[in-house]
């Protein structure tokens, strides 16, 4: 059994769509207990309206949704009843194995960093998705946690992404640097500097395949880990989603029956691709689409459960420790205290 905390107040359709997701989850809980973080009375009312016995979840009272503004930190620092902070607190205190929000990404990232702390060796956490590439699961990061990167940050992402791919069972996952050509000299200033660093300064078992291109993310043929800054990664991820929706419309139209094409598109949204795992914080954190459906929120809960079960946080810490002596000490201390082996 794992316990996953769920932010009732995050997301465009909150709290109704989150309550729908709780009801859907309980029809097939897969050993996952939900800790629902939101106003307790509201939570009970929403569940009863959906014919759900509130006793089937843990209700954790928190009165305030995360702030949507550009600077969520000040609200988080001055109020202790914000749902994302309370959910993070459950993970930090060992009362939950992971947490999920489909609310404001910046607020979720800030709450996670404040409440869980960063993994040693990671200067900034990265939102990470598993793309169902034609070759199999492909780890793409950062897709939006931090917009401006440096070569050293991208090197950290290479290690964290590699650890994730290994934890997913990908054998010897090649790591590619997202660029605009496969030759070393291609790309902008950041990519040219990063290429040299990745070619020279990764542990020997992390196989750097060189620059890869946008189409390599959907194919997975050249690398199973693709590293980029959060701006480019977010643009690309949303571009892929848009192109799949475009294809469902156009290709479904070509067959005269859009059903199967839209089923493929919907399947990507309720797979491991449903949400992003925030790699680089000391606790399992999943951030989903603000416009996510109930089915997508259920998929985010399962993704958090899966990340907890596969030991993603200690795996990330161990990989980062390979390039940082300080991180090595922190990883050893964390492995001792890890709740899920």
- Pick from 94, 169, 203, 242: which binds its own copies (CB under 8 A)? 242
Stretch that binds its own copies, among 86-94, 108-116, 257-265, 297-305 (CB under 8 A): 257-265
User: Would you say 42 and 72 are in contact if contact means Cβ atoms under 8 Å apart?
Assistant: no
User: Would you say 83 and 65 are in contact if contact means Cβ atoms under 8 Å apart?
Assistant: yes
- Pick from 65, 121, 137, 252: which binds its own copies (CB under 8 A)? 252
Give the N- to C-terminal CA distance of the chain in Å, as an integer: 13
Residue 241 in contact with its own copies, rule: CB under 8 A: yes
Stretch that binds its own copies, among 38-46, 83-91, 241-249, 298-306 (CB under 8 A): 241-249
Q: Binding mask 95-124 vs its own copies (x if CB under 8 A, - otherwise)?
A: ------------------------------
Q: Which of residues 178-237 bind its own copies (CB under 8 A)?
A: 178-180, 183, 185, 187-189, 191, 213-219, 228-232, 234-237
For its own copies, give the closer residue by CB, 71 or 338: 71
**DSSP label at residue 215:** H
Q: Which of residues 162-181 bind its own copies (CB under 8 A)?
A: 178-180
**Least distance between its own copies and beta carbon 52 (Å):** 33
Residue 73 in contact with its own copies, rule: CB under 8 A: no
Q: How many Å apart are CA 336 and CA 52, to the nearest integer?
A: 39
**DSSP label at residue 279:** E
- Pick from 35, 165, 261, 320: which binds its own copies (CB under 8 A)? 261
**Least distance between its own copies and beta carbon 133 (Å):** 7
* Structure token digits, residue 85: 């902070």
* Structure token digits, residue 144: 């939006």
Using CA atoms of 215, 166, 333, 324 in order, give the dihedral in degrees to the nearest 10.
Answer: -50
* 237 CB-contact burial (10 Å; exposed 0-12 / middle 13-18 / buried 19+): buried
* 57 CB-contact burial (10 Å; exposed 0-12 / middle 13-18 / buried 19+): buried
Instruction: State the alpha helices, DSSP H only, in the chain.
Output: 16-26, 40-49, 72-78, 83-92, 105-116, 151-167, 189-200, 214-219, 230-255, 259-269, 294-309, 312-321, 325-337
**Least distance between its own copies and beta carbon 291 (Å):** 10
For its own copies, give the closer residue by CB, 57 or 236: 236
Stretch that binds its own copies, among 81-89, 116-124, 142-150, 168-176 (CB under 8 A): 142-150
Q: How many Å apart are CA 241 and CA 230, to the nearest integer?
A: 16
For its own copies, give the closer residue by CB, 2 or 105: 105
For its own copies, give the closer residue by CB, 102 or 307: 102
**Least distance between its own copies and beta carbon 221 (Å):** 10
* Residues making contact with its own copies (CB under 8 A): 70, 133-134, 144, 147-148, 178-180, 183, 185, 187-189, 191, 213-219, 228-232, 234-252, 254-255, 257, 260-261, 263-265
């Amino acid at each position: 059994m794992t316990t996953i905390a769920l932010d009732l107040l995050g997301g465009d359709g909150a709290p109704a769509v989150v309550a729908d997701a709780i009801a859907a989850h309980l029809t097939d809980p897969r050993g996952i207990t939900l800790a629902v973080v939101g106003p307790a009375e509201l939570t009970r009312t929403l569940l009863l309206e959906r014919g759900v016995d509130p006793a089937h979840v843990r209700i954790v009272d928190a009165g305030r949704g995360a702030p949507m503004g550009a600077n969520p930190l000040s609200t988080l620092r001055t109020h202790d009843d914000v749902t994302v902070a309370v959910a993070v607190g459950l993970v930090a205190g060992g009362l939950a194995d992971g947490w999920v929000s489909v609310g404001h990404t910046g607020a979720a990232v800030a709450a996670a960093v404040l409440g869980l702390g960063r993994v040693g060796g990671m200067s900034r956490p990265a939102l990470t998705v598993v793309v169902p590439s034609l070759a199999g699961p492909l780890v793409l990061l950062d897709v939006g946690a931090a917009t401006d990167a440096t070569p050293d940050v991208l090197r950290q992402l290479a290690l964290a992404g590699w650890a994730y791919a290994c934890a997913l069972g990908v054998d010897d996952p090649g790591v590619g640097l997202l660029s605009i050509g496969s030759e070393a000299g291609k790309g902008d200033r950041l990519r040219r500097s990063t290429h040299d660093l990745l070619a020279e300064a990764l542990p020997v078992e992390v196989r750097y395949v060189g620059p890869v291109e946008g189409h390599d993310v959907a194919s997975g043929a050249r690398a199973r880990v693709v590293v980029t800054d959060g701006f480019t990664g977010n643009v690309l991820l949303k571009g892929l989603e848009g192109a799949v929706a475009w294809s469902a419309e156009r290709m479904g139209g070509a067959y005269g029956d859009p059903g199967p094409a839209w089923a493929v598109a919907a399947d990507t949204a309720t797979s491991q691709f449903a949400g992003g795992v925030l790699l680089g914080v000391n606790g399992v954190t999943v951030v989903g689409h603000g416009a996510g459906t109930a089915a997508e929120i259920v998929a985010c809960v399962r993704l958090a459960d899966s990340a907890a079960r596969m030991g993603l946080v200690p795996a990330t810490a161990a990989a980062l420790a390979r390039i940082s002596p300080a991180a090595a000490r922190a990883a050893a201390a964390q492995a001792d205290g890890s709740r899920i082996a």
